[in-house]
Structure 1
Amino acid sequence: MREPSNRRSPALVLAASALGLTFAAPMTAWANEAAERLTERLDPLENYHATFEQQILDGGGERLQSARGEMWLSRPGMLRWEVEAPYSQTVVSDGEDVYLYDPDLEQVTVQAMDDRVTHTPALLLSGSADELTASYDVFYEQQDGDDVFTLIPTLADTLFEELSMVFEGQILTELWMMDSTGQRTAITFSDITRNGSIDRGLFDFQIPEGTDVIREEL
């Protein structure tokens, strides 16, 4: 993984996020051309499965937290994000609701899919390319042979100020995010399968017996 340059994390953002940092090189394509390039990458994406490593850093580059886990994504709107270490946590979206399950607390938080939730980076990937490019200014550059797309939100109340997606060819390999506090998150994907076979049951979350349920209203 690249060393983070300069760049949050309540549970939903940590588990369902997919991070960030800014890239120092100048943007090299106009926003409309960059959006077209990104749409060409995302439109053929039906599903995605990978393991991940995540780092969260403060504004000075000091590591605050690290985690690893596994993710499954199926478009439109379905995601399973499992943090395995250093603690267990699961986020599942079935296209209508998002479930955040913390087994240590024996607690699950349920929130309906709305614009704010779907703008978390990992869930953002499960939406349509047209919706994505309508909500963000998109910039493109090449860096070390990879294609880097940087998204700047055009709407208020988003969970990040800048998001970058790194592609090796057609494969998404990294996500970088910076929030309004300067905190940065970097996620690197490995063991990637794109448009393979995924069990749809992974996106059907069954609340474990005895678990406290918190439903967040819009």
Structure 2
Amino acid sequence: MKKLFATVLIAASAGTACADGLESLENFVKTVKSGRAEFTQVVTSPPKDGQAARSKTSSGSFEFQRPSKFKFIYKKPFEQSIVADGQTLWLYDVDLNQVTSRKQSSVLGSTPAALIAAAPDLKALQADFTLQAAPDKDGLQWVTATPKAKDGQLQTVKVGFKVEAQSTELAALEILDSFGQRSLMSFAKVEVNPALAAETFQFKPPAGADVVKQ
């Protein structure tokens, strides 16, 4: 369940109102080059053996800078850090005192992180995802991204935008995986295009931590 909380990256808002979710996504990718926000993530498992669906909630903060740097800090209910420095993806589990490192280019691919943080334009996204505008829901415009790769654990990603007269704000991310688990991430206190120091995305394994390379 811990790893489910660590599957996404999102941020920010763009400057002009858009006609639908697909246009909002394109505007976001073009105009938002860095971001900072707080998030709440709810992961819901499907019903099993006659039991009701179960949900778990986490919260924290994140920062990102295009094309490929981001940092998630999960604060509740457990502490965990996910840092992408452009070359390596680091996952630090405080409870286990364990660090996992992976080559970033081999693990992002058709993931929510790639969808939001890595692509320079809509054409680049369409190389890995089938993108479709979805019906408005809960006061948001939505776009559905379906990975073209069929061997992953991700079924679909839906991105929700709050559209007002002069702005289009990215408000939610909904992920459905191949196990039927649904993750909904909501965002608050969003900052668009802040100046982020280079050391923001640097990570050094804590002294005494067990480091596993994959």
Compute the displacement of 1:50 (Å).
0.6
**Which of 102, 106, 109 is the matching residue for 2:100?**
109
More deviation, 129-138/185-194: 129-138
Name the structure 2 match of 1:201: 199
Question: 1:78 is matched by which residue type in structure 2?
Answer: K
Cα distance in 2 for partners of 1:180, 1:46 equals 31
Higher-strand-fraction structure: 2
Name the structure 1 match of 2:188: 190
Q: Deviations over 1:10-65 (max 9, x none)?
A: 52x4223269xxxxxxxxx9xxx975653232111101111000111122472331
Question: 1:49 is matched by which residue type in structure 2?
Answer: R
Indicate the RMSD between aligned Cα atoms, in angstroms: 2.3
Identity %: 26
Name the structure 2 match of 1:56: 43
Question: 2:94 is matched by which residue type in structure 1?
Answer: P
Q: Deviations over 1:144-181 (max 9, x none)?
A: 44220111111123331010001113221100010111
Q: Deviations over 1:80-125 (max 9, x none)?
A: 0010001100000001110000121111000001354343313431
**C-alpha spacing 1:164/1:45, structure 2 compared with 1 (3 Å):** same
Name the structure 1 match of 2:14: none
Name the structure 2 match of 1:85: 76
Name the structure 1 match of 2:213: 215
Name the structure 2 match of 1:148: 142
Equivalent residue pairs, number: 195
Paired residues of 1:73 and 1:80 also in contact (CA < 8 A): yes
Name the structure 1 match of 2:153: 159
Q: Does residue 38 of structure 1 match 2:25?
A: yes
TM-score, normalised via structure 1 length: 0.81
Which runs of 5 or more residues in structure 2 are unaligned? Answer: 11-18
**C-alpha spacing 1:10/1:156, structure 2 compared with 1 (3 Å):** farther
Aligned residue for 1:125, secondary structure, equals helix
Cα distance in 1 for partners of 2:142, 2:213 equals 37
Cα distance in 1 for partners of 2:161, 2:106 equals 25
